[in-house]
Amino acid sequence: MAVSQETVEQVASVSEKYKYGFVSDIEADMAPLGLNEDIVRFISAKKDEPEWMLEWRLKAYRYWLTMEEPTWANVDYPKIDFQDIYYYSAPKTKVNPKSLDEVDPELLEVYKKLGIPLKEQEVLAGVEGAYNVAVDAVFDSVSVATTFRERLEKEGVIFCPISEAIRNHPELVKKYMGSVVPYTDNYYSALNCAVFTDGSFCYIPKGVRCPMELSTYFRINAAQTGQFERTLIIAEDDSYVSYLEGCTAPMRDENQLHAAVVELIIMDNAEIKYSTVQNWYPGDENGVGGIYNFVTKRAACRGVNSKVSWTQVETGSAITWKYPSCILQGDNSVGEFYSIAITNNLQQADTGTKMIHLGKNTSSTIISKGISAGRAQSTYRGLVRMGKKAENARNHTVCDSLLIGDKCGAHTVPYIENQSRTAKIEHEATTSKVSEEQLFYCQQRGLSEEESMALIVNGFCKEVLQKLPMEFAVEAQKLVGISLEGSVG
Amino acid sequence: MLEIKDLRATVGGKEILKGINLTIKPGEIHAVMGPNGAGKSTLSYVLSGRAGYEVTGGSVLYKGVDLLDMSPDERACRGLFLAFQYPVEIPGVASATFLKTAFNAQRKFRGEEELDAMQFLKLVRKKTTELGIKDDMLKRAVNVGFSGGEKKRNEVLQMALFEPDLMLLDETDSGLDIDALKVAADGVNRLRSPERSALIITHYQRLLDYIVPDFVHVLADGKIVKSGDKSLALELEEKGYAEISAA
Amino acid sequence: MKNRTPLAQSYLDRFETAVSTLPGHESRSVQALRRQGLDTFAALDFPHKRIEEWRYTNLSALTKATANEDIPSSDLDVIQTAALDAPFEMVFINGHFSSDESRLKELPEGITLGSIASSLGNGAVFSLSSEEDRALFALNTAFMEDGFSLHVDDHVQSETILKITFRNESGDQNGRHIRNVINLGIGSKLTLVEEHTGTGSYFSNPVTSISLSEGAALNHYKLQNESHYAYHLSLTDCENAKGSIYQNFTFSLGARISRNEIKTTILGSEAESHLNGAYLMRGKQHCDTTTLTEHKVPQNISSQVYKGVLDDDAHGVFQGKIHIFRDAQQVVGDQLSKALLLSDRAGVDCKPELEIHADDVKCSHGATSGELDEDALFYLQSRGIPEDRARKLLIEAFLADVMESIGDTPVKDYFNAIAASWLTEA
């Protein structure tokens, strides 16, 4: 049977395409299954947290119990059984290693396999191709390594796992954590506040331009676990930092939950550039398995002339539910959102941004590129709000969708609210398909159909890809091609 | 006609004009030349009353009356005409409607009878024929889709129609080919009379080959640093602004 | 029992009495239809802000009180200019057909125009239906009193303008639940102008169902010039068969709170649906335009263009959704919403939505919002045009292209004259 043989081959080839789908056999220290107040206490105790942190977690947990799961997003999935998840899983090795030499070699092997540079010496020794980037590696519920800490400390930059920051910098954490995304914000952020395990903490002091890119690499490894990441970045007056995050997970038949909260605080004349390449396991071509990526990311531009830029390439996850937002409070503050969301097979993505203009002369730019293939559904959902005091505020939104194949869907749901006479809002959106002419032209010049498609789609995404730091951009471009494989023909 | 005394103005809190003194008598044509950023356009906007250009000192008398107190339209009705460097596109407003509305507003201000549509059309046709402007321009929205040359022609047409007493030309030559430049110059020269004055603001002297000024002033860093007759323009062309300003 | 809004409760309390007196009370099928509407409405109550489609329009001013506000009857707010010269006019006063006021003699052959009240009286429910998820539709079904029923025979192409006028006054608290039914036969053509006007405070809830047969063309104009104390919440549904063309232009100036909701469903290829409109609002007026265009089959065209001018504390809402079903290939859908804010207190909310399940389509939407162009204003002033005149010119220019889309010149002139008087009052 030619058909079934072809199907088998196709399945095999698709499975190969997610090259991060391996499982590492690393012994783990797990919390008991399920969720209750004792689990919250368990996590807090594991992290050796002060009392105030535990109390905050419990408050959030109790609040979460009163909430209902949101249903407004254009995504469809079976009800999550929150009692069937492990909320804590850590490799049974030395936590908080003093140096990389103390890190379990097996773990280092995992990161090597993932292509994540944890070797400071390579960079320091000037090895060609070694990225000048500090990495915080989060494995399931704990940070297993953070590189370049000493180098950064010299500049006054704090870059460490958030659990460490809670112990060592309580004054900063107390002041800022929950100040942008309070635990009452939404269902998943409340859950995150109760059970968050690790994530990164970055503090850029006044006047410092962070000497290297900071990055966090999230890896889910253990089965049946949820990952609850918490990241907090503070850029004081006149500072600058570029931060990157990457995410991968093994291929499994089950769905795993990743519910993160990211808070950015930007003071006078400071800037944070936040880039994400999200490549969680998307599930197979029949929609089995994959990560549920339910994320709350928000930046508060508190200072005058402050700037935040979110750039995201979302290719993974079975379901993405994510709206990196900007609260433009300081006069002249700037918010940017550049996004590529690619969905293939049975993936679903409901993603976009919120630009809340409060201060005078604030401006925002939204460029969103959504690509749907297979039987996927992709939704852009965004809010632009001009408050009464947002004099002369500006927004420009471009929101383009590309459809590949006739079984997928692309949706655009912008909310545009203007209360300021002098504000100017421009929104444009288009939906179209890759034209036969374009494909044929490329093929006629010798490219395969898939290569042609990858080329055209990369062109469609170019404006956004250009916003990524160089190392990421190359990776992202490849990812665009890989994510679409199997979508043509 | 125009008497500018120690005029100071700021834009967005920044001082651009730092004490301008200039007197234009009836019948005279003055040229103000200067490098980019000297304050040339600011001068034309302050004289025509644009919002956002704040006068912080000095005075401007126009026909003996305080000009700075008037709204932009009152200045226009009293015979001050600004030919824009970049005429604005106004979608949805037909040129004919615009010209008639402005023309009648000015007549009404002067206590003259307004022209009806027929009378006005006749007058406009006469002017367009004189200036070699195609009639179909009247049907199009104001400046929308006009080429650079067409926009300048439209400014000249308006000048011919309104017959102002004081013409301000703001970089009228920028982006114009020689033919369009001649049309613009011709428009001004037609209106030259012992009662009518003009202030030509320009970076290059080539427009002055066609509209010969009586006086030339050099504007640098918000002040008039040198004045002379038309030969000064040629000197500028030869030596450049830096040398003249420093002199 | 559920915590109902007082107005909803008063409707429920009134129903049994009403059902035995409203038109068609002798007919079981009409009664059954009304009950069905009532049950749906009872379960839903009036729409509220927690319903996604109503997030920007708050009806609590209407629904919190059982009695209408005591407003002296006054027509000061309503803009009146020379009337539209239409050879035929059907007039409804306070929701009831008035044959005295109407001019319907010698309607062109092939056009049948009657009142819904008499149809209901005959027990006819023909194309009337209730609806499961739209409360205002269900409320109308339960309490509909009158309206027009219009039928155009196959291939009848009328060149004249048919005008339907609804005049309302303050009065009883029953509301005006107008139900209209329009049916255009194969290859027929008609121009229809609806005008809604009134004095004092009242609640108008018109529902219009339109069915266009193959190749039919309807130019449907609506002037919403209700009293500024009134509530006008209207629903218009149109179904397009193959090759039919529906053109709707809604011009809204009146009402305290108004909503113009249009749903078009394209069921045949080569059909077109064009929904355009303009709204001019001041004071504390609130105007909501909500459109849903459903493309269920391939090869269609749809467009929506709405322009709004908002002064004082006025608030505008535009929600437009283009929904392209699976396999509805080769569809072109365009949408544009532009709002002009003249005051620091005015505001606008806009939600242009695309839901697309077919790949070979071209869809776009644009939305802008802002103030008058200061450069253009200065240019006009510098030519001697006084500021207020210049502002008016620019507002007219802002509206010009959408007004230009009105295909019937008498209607265009009429609407332009009304816009001009609105601007004069500014």
Higher pLDDT, B145 or C288: C288
Query: Which residues, 6 or more positions from C136, have their beta carbon under 8 angstroms from its beta carbon?
Result: C46, C47, C205, C207, C233, C235
How far apart, in Å, do the first and last CA atoms of chain A sit? 20
How far apart, in Å, do the first and last CA atoms of chain C sit? 48
**Is chain B adjacent to chain A, meaning 3+ CB pairs within 8 angstroms?**
no
- pLDDT value at A10 more than 50: no
Element (H, E) at B198: strand B197-202
When CB atoms are compared, the residue of C384, C390, C398 closest to B92 is: C398
CA–CA gap between residue C351 and residue A413 (Å, rounded): 7
CA–CA gap between residue B231 and residue B216 (Å, rounded): 8
> C111 lies in which domain range?
1-256
| Site of tokens 């060609």 | A128
Is C76 a domain residue? yes
| Site of tokens 């332009």 | C416
Is C238 a domain residue? yes
Classify A411 as helix, strand or coil. Answer: strand
- Using a CB–CB cutoff of 8 Å, tell me whether C364 touches chain A: yes
- pLDDT value at A4 more than 50: no
Q: Are A280 and A247 in contact (CB under 8 A)?
A: yes
Quote the pLDDT of residue A9.
Answer: 41
Quote the pLDDT of residue A24.
Answer: 82
Cβ neighbours of A409 in C, within 8 Å: 355-357
CA–CA gap between residue B187 and residue B204 (Å, rounded): 19
- Using a CB–CB cutoff of 8 Å, tell me whether B105 touches chain C: yes
- pLDDT value at A126 more than 80: no
Interface with chain B: mutation pick from C372, C385, C391, C395, highest number of B CBs within 10 Å: C385
User: Which runs of E-coded beta strand occur in A358-459?
Assistant: 363-373, 377-386, 394-404, 409-418, 424-433
Of A442, A372, A457, A348, the residue nearest C359 (C-alpha): A372
Chains within contact range of chain A (3+ C-beta pairs < 8 Å)? C
CA–CA gap between residue C335 and residue B100 (Å, rounded): 34
CA–CA gap between residue C49 and residue C42 (Å, rounded): 18
Cα of C319 to nearest chain B Cα, Å: 25
When CB atoms are compared, the residue of B76, B93, B106 closest to C397 is: B93
The lowest-confidence range among A305-319, A432-446, C318-332, C356-370 is: A432-446
According to DSSP, the β-strands at B29-33 and B53-62 are: unpaired
Cα of C264 to nearest chain B Cα, Å: 29
B154 φ, ψ (degrees, to nearest 5):
-65, -40
Percent of chain C with pLDDT over 90: 76
Classify C198 as helix, strand or coil. Answer: strand
CA-CA-CA-CA torsion sign (A275, A281, A286, A292): negative
Question: Would you state the structure tokens that stand for residue A181, as one six-digit string?
Answer: 């995304």
When CB atoms are compared, the residue of C326, C359, C368 closest to A426 is: C368
C-beta atoms of A403 and C354 within 8 A: no
Question: Would you state the structure tokens that stand for residue A148, as one six-digit string?
Answer: 């370049």
When CB atoms are compared, the residue of C383, C396, C401 closest to B102 is: C383
Ranges of H-type helices in A144-183: 149-154, 162-168, 170-176
Q: Are B75 and B49 in contact (CB under 8 A)?
A: yes
CA–CA gap between residue B207 and residue B230 (Å, rounded): 12
Q: Are A307 and A334 in contact (CB under 8 A)?
A: yes
User: How sure is the predictor about B246, in pLDDT bands with cuts at 50, 70 and 90?
Assistant: low
Quote the pLDDT of residue A5.
Answer: 38
CA–CA gap between residue A366 and residue A352 (Å, rounded): 9
| Site of tokens 């956004």 | A464
Mean pLDDT of A113-130: 61
- Using a CB–CB cutoff of 8 Å, tell me whether A417 touches chain C: yes
Is C342 a domain residue? no
Of all residues in chain B, the one with the smallest CA distance to C379 is B88
Interface with chain C: mutation pick from A380, A431, A432, A484, highest number of C CBs within 10 Å: A431
Of B222, B227, B198, the residue nearest B212 (C-alpha): B198
B208 φ, ψ (degrees, to nearest 5):
-75, -10
Tell how far CA A448 is from the center of its chain: 32
When CB atoms are compared, the residue of C378, C383, C397 closest to B51 is: C378
C-beta atoms of B90 and C386 within 8 A: no
- Using a CB–CB cutoff of 8 Å, tell me whether B115 touches chain C: no
Question: Would you state the structure tokens that stand for residue B9, as one six-digit string?
Answer: 């103005």
Of all residues in chain B, the one with the smallest CA distance to C398 is B92
Structural domains of chain C, count: 1
Highest mean pLDDT among A153-157, A215-219, A268-272, A436-440: A268-272
Cβ neighbours of B49 in C, within 8 Å: 381-382
- Give the tens place of pLDDT for each residue, A346-369: 999 999 999 999 999 999 999 999
User: How sure is the predictor about C130, in pLDDT bands with cuts at 50, 70 and 90?
Assistant: low
Cβ neighbours of A391 in C, within 8 Å: none
Question: Would you state the structure tokens that stand for residue A238, as one six-digit string?
Answer: 């006149």
Is C312 a domain residue? no
Question: Would you state the structure tokens that stand for residue C204, as one six-digit string?
Answer: 């108008």
User: How sure is the predictor about A338, in pLDDT bands with cuts at 50, 70 and 90?
Assistant: very high
C-beta atoms of B73 and C396 within 8 A: no
When CB atoms are compared, the residue of A405, A408, A432 closest to C362 is: A432
A459 φ, ψ (degrees, to nearest 5):
-65, -40
- Give the tens place of pLDDT for each residue, C388-421: 999 999 999 999 999 999 999 999 999 999 999 9
Is C317 a domain residue? no
Beta bridge partners of C184: C152, C212
The lowest-confidence range among A10-14, B232-236, C207-211 is: A10-14
C-beta atoms of C393 and B97 within 8 A: yes
Q: How far is CA B181 from CA A88, B164, B173, B178, C302, in A?
A: 78, 20, 6, 5, 47
Cβ neighbours of B87 in C, within 8 Å: 379
- Give the tens place of pLDDT for each residue, C299-312: 999 999 999 999 99
Of A60, A352, A357, the residue nearest A186 (C-alpha): A60
CA-CA-CA-CA torsion sign (C398, C403, C409, C415): negative
Is C225 a domain residue? yes
C-beta atoms of B75 and C382 within 8 A: yes
Overall residue count recorded for chain A in this entry: 489
The lowest-confidence range among A448-452, C205-209, C268-272 is: A448-452
CA–CA gap between residue A110 and residue A68 (Å, rounded): 38
Q: Are C233 and C258 in contact (CB under 8 A)?
A: yes
Quote the pLDDT of residue A3.
Answer: 33
The amino acid present at A467, given as its one-letter code, is K
When CB atoms are compared, the residue of C339, C342, C354 closest to A429 is: C354
| Site of tokens 């253990």 | A222
- pTM given for the model: 0.85
Quote the pLDDT of residue C2.
Answer: 62
Quote the pLDDT of residue A281.
Answer: 87
- Using a CB–CB cutoff of 8 Å, tell me whether C362 touches chain A: yes
Percent of chain A with pLDDT over 90: 51
CA–CA gap between residue B25 and residue B196 (Å, rounded): 9
Cβ neighbours of C378 in B, within 8 Å: 50-51, 72, 88
Cβ neighbours of B76 in C, within 8 Å: 381-385
Quote the pLDDT of residue C124.
Answer: 75
C-beta atoms of C361 and A432 within 8 A: yes
According to DSSP, the β-strands at C148-152 and C111-115 are: antiparallel
C-beta atoms of C347 and A412 within 8 A: no
CA–CA gap between residue C196 and residue C78 (Å, rounded): 11
Cβ neighbours of C340 in A, within 8 Å: none
Element (H, E) at B73: helix B72-77
Of A84, A113, A101, the residue nearest A145 (C-alpha): A101
When CB atoms are compared, the residue of B76, B103, B141 closest to C381 is: B76
| Site of tokens 């500049």 | A155
Is C363 a domain residue? no
Cα of C262 to nearest chain B Cα, Å: 27
Is C346 a domain residue? no
User: How sure is the predictor about A36, in pLDDT bands with cuts at 50, 70 and 90?
Assistant: very high
Of B133, B178, B189, the residue nearest B157 (C-alpha): B133
- Using a CB–CB cutoff of 8 Å, tell me whether C203 touches chain B: no
According to DSSP, the β-strands at C207-212 and C231-240 are: parallel
CA–CA gap between residue C305 and residue C367 (Å, rounded): 10
Cβ neighbours of C382 in B, within 8 Å: 48-50, 72-73, 75-76, 81-82, 84
Of all residues in chain B, the one with the smallest CA distance to C391 is B93
- pLDDT value at A488 more than 70: no
- Give the tens place of pLDDT for each residue, A230-276: 999 999 999 999 999 988 887 888 888 999 999 999 999 999 999 99
Cα of C184 to nearest chain A Cα, Å: 33
When CB atoms are compared, the residue of B51, B77, B141 closest to C384 is: B77
When CB atoms are compared, the residue of C344, C358, C369 closest to A425 is: C369
CA–CA gap between residue B244 and residue B8 (Å, rounded): 22
Mean pLDDT of A299-315: 95
Interface of B with C in 9-38 (CB under 8 A): none
The lowest-confidence range among A72-81, C35-44, C277-286 is: A72-81
How far apart, in Å, do the first and last CA atoms of chain B sit? 30
Secondary structure (DSSP) of B92-148:
EEEHHHHHHHHHHHHHHHTTPPPP-HHHHHHHHHHHHHHHT--GGGGTSEETTT--H
- Give the tens place of pLDDT for each residue, C18-73: 899 999 998 888 999 999 999 999 999 999 988 999 999 999 989 887 555 555 54
CA–CA gap between residue A359 and residue A354 (Å, rounded): 15
CB atoms within 10 A of CB A8: 11
Of all residues in chain A, the one with the smallest CA distance to C52 is A72
Classify C296 as helix, strand or coil. Answer: coil
Quote the pLDDT of residue A384.
Answer: 96
Cα of B76 to nearest chain C Cα, Å: 5
The lowest-confidence range among A2-6, C171-175, C280-284 is: A2-6
Question: Would you state the structure tokens that stand for residue A297, as one six-digit string?
Answer: 């990311």
Ranges of H-type helices in C58-154: 60-63, 116-121, 135-143
- Using a CB–CB cutoff of 8 Å, tell me whether C377 touches chain A: no
CB atoms within 10 A of CB C53: 17
- pLDDT value at A13 more than 50: no
Q: Are B118 and B65 in contact (CB under 8 A)?
A: no
